[in-house]
Amino acid sequence: MLKAYFVELLKKNNKIRYGLIALLSLVLVGVLAYDRLNKNERIKAENTFDCPDLDRGCQIEVRNLPYTIKTDTRVAAGVPFVLLVEGGGVEMHALWKMKDVDVDPNFYRLEADGLERWKSKMTLPSSPQTRHDWVLHLEINARAVDINTTTH
């Protein structure tokens, strides 16, 4: 009975119908904006790799495909560096985090730089602690891995 009342109300009253459509549109825009503004880890890591010195590079595997991860210089807090990834992909993103520590939000989109080469200039986010252990959360083609590394 209540359902029929609302259906009739929506059929007869354009203001309510358009108001409801506007409200639902605002909710959808809000959800999309929240996702864009809060770029946090979106995909759960399938594997974890250790790469203590990213400037020396390391090999990882994502879905049985090989990738080489390397930086152009030693990674240090507050100092810009370039993350380089070699391997096939359509889309790549990176997020820096620490275990059990909240760090400033950061999310990087890697750009294609030739055949199967990707790069992005980054700076480690600030941390309330002066720890040197970091996790690079790397998303490749909707798959993700965590790479344990250290700063200098």
pLDDT in tens, 92-137: 999 998 877 777 778 999 999 878 999 999 998 776 667 788 999 9
Contact 104, 131 (CB under 8 A): no
Helix axes 14-37, 2-12, angle to 10 degrees: 100
97 shares its domain with 33: no
Q: What is the CATH number of the domain that holds 60?
A: 2.60.40
Half-sphere exposure of 56 (CA within 13 A, CB side): 7
pLDDT, averaged across the chain: 83
Residues 82-92 have a mean pLDDT of 94
Residue 42 maps to a domain: no
Q: At residue 61, does pLDDT exceed 70?
A: yes
Which position has the higher pLDDT, 34 or 69? 69
pLDDT, residue 113, reads 84
Residue 74 maps to a domain: yes
Taking only Cα atoms into account, the Rg of the chain, rounded to an integer number of angstroms, comes to 22
Q: Provide the residue range defining the domain that includes 9.
A: 2-37
pLDDT, residue 30, reads 58
pLDDT, residue 139, reads 95
pLDDT, residue 115, reads 83
* Domain total in the chain: 2
